[in-house]
Amino acid sequence: MKAPTPSTLVAMVYSSSLTDAEWEILEPLLPQILPQKKRTRPCGWTKRQILDGIFYQLKNGCNWEDLPKDLPPYSTVHWHHKQWRAAGAIEMLMQTLHEQVREQVKKAQVEDVNHH
């Protein structure tokens, strides 16, 4: 059986899948944070699809090989996870998101104080 390709696959939505709103926050951060892939063949899978695979595995604690077949191949997802983790990209992404949340909380507190 031929493996599905990104263009022929309709992915299921899992509880670990990024929502459109979450993706709008993450997508602009990725070019600055993720390491540049050496120019080999193009991946064919979007970073969102790969992140959905990583999040599925992390949330469900399954073996990489047990990722659902509508996600990118486990070897692709696992390879990216290892590369990004080794480069410190996952840590930087979490730190950046945390800083954004802290800024939003500060703004909300200032607005709340100004309205009272």
| 85 in a structural domain | yes
| 66 in a structural domain | yes
CA dihedral 87, 92, 75, 12 (to 10 degrees): -170
Mean pLDDT, consecutive 10-residue stretches, the chain (116 aa), reads 54 89 92 80 87 95 95 95 93 91 87 77
| 13 in a structural domain | no
d(CA 38, CA 19): 29
Are the beta carbons of 68 and 88 closer than 8 angstroms? no
Q: How many domains does the chain have?
A: 1
* pLDDT at site 6: 59
| 52 in a structural domain | yes
Range of the domain at 90: 20-115
User: How many CA within 13 A on the CB side of residue 21?
Assistant: 0
| 65 in a structural domain | yes
